[in-house]
Amino acid sequence: MARVKLDITRRQFLATGLAGTALLGTGMGPGRSNLAMRYPDPPWFATGEVVTTYNYCDMCPWRCGIAVQSVDGKVIKIDGNILDPKSRGKLCGRGQAGVSFMNDPDRLQSPMIRTGERGEGKFREVTWEEALDYTAEKILAIKDTYGPEALAIFGHTTGDFWFTDYFAQAWGTPNAAKPSSSLCLSPRDEASKLTFGFPVGGHEPMDWDEMECITLIGSHIGEDSRNTVMQDFVEARARGAQVIVVDPRFSSAAAKADYWLPIKPGTDTALLLAWANVLITENRFDRAYLDEWATGLDELTAHVREFTPEWAAPITDLSAEQIRATARVMSDRSPRAVIMPGRHVVWYGNDTQRMRAEFLVNSLLGVYGRHGGMYFNKSPFLEAYPHPPFAVTGSSGGCSAEPGEESDVLPLGPTGKARADGAREAFLRGPTAMQELIDPMITDDPYRIAGLVVYGVNLLNSIPIPNRTIEALKKLDFVLAVDVLPQEHVAWADVVFPEATYLERYDELSPIAHKTPYIQMREPAVPPMYDTMPGWMMARELGLRVGLDAFFKWETIEEYLDTRLRSVGSNLEKMHDDGGVIIQEGKPYLEDFVADGETPFHTASGKIQLASEDLAGAGFDAIPVYEPTEEPPEGYYRLLYGRVPVHTFAKTQNTPALSAVYPENELWINEDEATALGYVTGDRVWLENDNGDRSGPIAVKATQRIRKDAVFMAHGFGQNAEGLTNANGRGASDTKLMSRYKLDPISGGGGMRVNFVRLVEGG
């Protein structure tokens, strides 16, 4: 089996991290430096030539451009790529730990085929030849018996393109899904499409440089350590921008806020409607902007008349004065005042409407296309590698792919089957909903899904109701797990493909829709460790074995990438020499469109839809209304979850350097509540939901920083995976405490803030 060819000649002998930082003119003489230099002795960058390779980080989905520094074939240090518009030479803690992620001794090292029962985690190591042949045989059998649609493909992280997008479409299954859609962004992007005619996009188009007021609803910048957003937030605030934070918890961002609104969970739409009421009744909205660029102002005006701050106050547990004051702070600075669209918006199952309400307030503030508001992002031009027409197009969607044009007719697979996730019936629109594909695996309704490929999704620590997922795993004919680590679900696979990490492989180019559209590259710093393989090679080798040769015409990944780059006047070598990015020109502001006689809004009317005809036509409210969410039963708390800065999803808990800094999650509970229950910080408790499911033990963090009706923990802990030395059994799992979710009937998002827990002793 061919291994990845490592092209040494292209390497650039420059330590970006060193060369890129200017010293503020210290007069450092040699002094006793001979002594000082002995620790470490000598420092790594003095032990040999420092070789820089360019990459985009895979430690979270944000895709910061990075410069990877290696010496003597060992990767030592990762820095933000100075030329990359996302990282600008900076990098978060997770990105810094990429080397630790790669060198994790728990990594999957060889392809494996199951020998024991599913779930036992018993495997024999096999050659790639055998693993690939066996997999091809199994999925072809599924295709012959049930059709290609019967193979579901789940993918996550920055390499998911090859399986979830490319292979899935070539193979012909519409049942490809990413958690970044229905378990994260779907409601936000569907709301944006309904309102503005385009999704928010992977990189939120906040025009931070000129922003004067930032409102965060649940976004916990700092704990959510997306590099660019932290940079921009801190800079805007230091420049004097006002910060309004709406969060039941006194987050790191709330501690930086000028106004903190500790809202009752689940009532955000009431707050947003009241803000709209203030802006309209006090004539504090951008009438000229809306007259030119929006429809439905009269309906909106009539709709929000009754939703006064006095109406919202008892619902939200905020004061009418707070609501009114913050609306005025925003309007005084509009259009340089933005409510950040945020991420992971799947909360209560009414999430598309809540996001619509947010976008309506933003529209009243006149933000889109305005300096200091939100810009129109643009995707970079980059031609695809020539391939035959796909067997099914636009199947998956997610952060890195368009879900295809919305239409009344869903794309059909080769044997005439549409997605099995209930789209158009259980929910209106949006990319394939991963959590809705689990039931069909169990019930064969609407048709049998017999095979599952899992690329990089931590299946049992991401999808709610994990017991249901296990039931599905038991019933499937075939399960392939592609991963770097022996995650919990890997024990349920029939075949395991161990992947080379992002530092060990070439990969698809990364196009970033941005104010300045640009393209990132991924080149290996070192060859794959152990008997691992890059995802692109697995997809290709599998493709060649199942009759998809026409889609994998390229002999080497270098040829594939060079061919694509030629369409933008570059190639791998040139792109490397140019510093790892190709930056194009954007079209960010309204005036750019006016000059061209175009509208930036791609709704049917070409205008912002304050009242949505699409929604009204489908039987939904044209303008959002507030609907109460279920309250916690007596003695229970609403389970909230989020991030800590050094971990991503359920992916990094085992990474040695990150585990050392934050080894297990803590349960934030209001100090007075904890005292009443007899707990203090550091006590270890278990959590039990109202369905009797338990997870723990988890350390109590008794704090004033959270409301009394909710508890909070970092997501991704409480994993049960014996092969993960650092992550196994550490802390509690929010996912395992989710015995329910609430389906958003518009976007297919799975609302997960609808679970309630209490503190109990013992597991």
From the CB of 57, what's the least distance to another protein, in Å? 12
In DSSP terms, 75 is beta-bridged to 70
Sign of the CA dihedral running 311, 312, 316, 319 = negative
In whole angstroms, the minimum distance from the beta carbon of 33 to another protein comes to: 5
Can you say whether the dihedral through the CA atoms of 569, 572, 574, 579 is positive or negative? positive
Eight-state DSSP code of residue 756: E
Chain residues 191-250 in contact with another protein, contact rule CB under 8 A? 221-223, 225, 227-228, 230-231, 233-235, 238, 250
Contact mark string toward another protein, 158..197, x via CB under 8 A:
----------------------------------------
Q: 164 vs 225, which CB is nearer to another protein? A: 225
Task: Considering only residues 126 through 155, tell me which ones interact with another protein, judged by CB under 8 A.
Answer: none
Contacts with another protein in 681-740 (CB under 8 A)? 681-682, 703-708
Residue of the chain from 61, 172, 174, 262 that contacts another protein (CB under 8 A): 262
Contact with another protein (CB under 8 A) among 414, 446, 527, 656: 656
Q: Which amino acid is at 555?
A: E
Token pair of 326, please?
């913050």
Which two three-digit tokens encode residue 665?
């999650």
Q: Which residues pair with 213 in a beta bridge?
A: 242, 337
Q: Toward another protein, which CB reaches closer, 290 or 669? A: 669
756, 632 in Cβ contact below 8 A?
A: yes
- Rounded to a whole number of angstroms, the minimum distance from the CB of residue 235 to another protein is 7
Binding track, positions 12-51, relative to another protein; x by CB under 8 A: -----xx-xxxxxxxxxx-xxx-xxxxxxxxxxxx-----
Nearest to 181 by CA among 514, 393, 430, 405: 430
Cβ 328 to another protein, closest distance in Å?
19
Smaller CB separation from another protein, 219 or 603: 219
Question: Would you say 413 and 407 are in contact if contact means Cβ atoms under 8 Å apart?
Answer: no
Q: How many whole angstroms separate alpha carbon 717 and alpha carbon 633? A: 25
In whole angstroms, how close is the CB of 705 to another protein at the nearest point?
Answer: 6
Find the binder of another protein among 252, 520, 653, 719 (CB under 8 A).
252
Q: Which is nearer to another protein, 283 or 704 (CB)?
A: 704
Q: To the nearest whole angstrom, how small is the minimum distance from the Cβ of residue 26 to another protein?
A: 5
C-alpha to C-alpha distances, 2 to 73, 335, 355, 531, nearest whole angstrom: 20, 56, 48, 11
> Of 53 and 227, which has the nearer Cβ to another protein?
227
Q: How many CB atoms lie within 10 A of CB 566?
A: 11
Q: Which of residues 631-650 bind another protein (CB under 8 A)?
A: 645-646
Nearest to 174 by CA among 478, 417, 479, 408: 417
Q: Between residues 225 and 570, which has the closer beta carbon with respect to another protein?
A: 225
Q: Is the CB of 101 or the CB of 289 nearer to another protein?
A: 101
Tokens of 501: 């990490």
The interface with another protein within residues 286-315 (CB under 8 A) comprises: none
**Residue tagged 């410069």 (tokens):** 67
Check binding of 665 to another protein (CB under 8 A): no
What's CA 581's distance to the chain center, in Å?
Answer: 22
Restricted to residues 68-107, the positions that interact with another protein (CB under 8 A) are 76-80, 89-97, 99-100
Three-state DSSP at 444 gives coil
Q: Give the shortest CB-14-to-another protein separation in angstroms.
A: 12
- Per-residue DSSP letter, 171: H
User: Among the residues of 334-380, which ranges form H helices?
Assistant: 351-364
> CB 668 → another protein: shortest distance, Å?
11
> CB neighbours of 658 closer than 8 A, spacing ≥ 6?
93, 94, 97, 100, 646, 647, 652
**Nearest-angstrom CA–CA distance, 448 and 475:** 10
User: Shortest approach of another protein to residue 232 CB, angstroms?
Assistant: 9
Chosen residue from 595, 661, 676, 760 binding another protein by CB under 8 A: 661
Q: Which of 92, 35, 108, 17 is nearest to 500 (CA)?
A: 108
How far is Cα 652 from Cα 645, in angstroms, rounded to an integer?
11
C-alpha 599, offset from chain centre: 29
Q: Quick one: 96 or 352, whose CB is closer to another protein?
A: 96
CB-count exposure of residue 729 (10 Å: 0-12, 13-18, 19+): middle
- The distance of closest approach from Cβ of residue 262 to another protein in the complex, given in angstroms and rounded to an integer, is 5
Q: Report the residue number, 601 or 668, with the smaller CB distance to another protein.
A: 668
**How many residues touch another protein (CB under 8 A)?**
81
Rule CB under 8 A: choose which of 132, 253, 459, 710 binds another protein.
253
Provide the minimum distance between the beta carbon of 411 and another protein in the complex, in angstroms, as a whole number. Answer: 40
How many Å apart are CA 164 and CA 166, to the nearest integer? 6
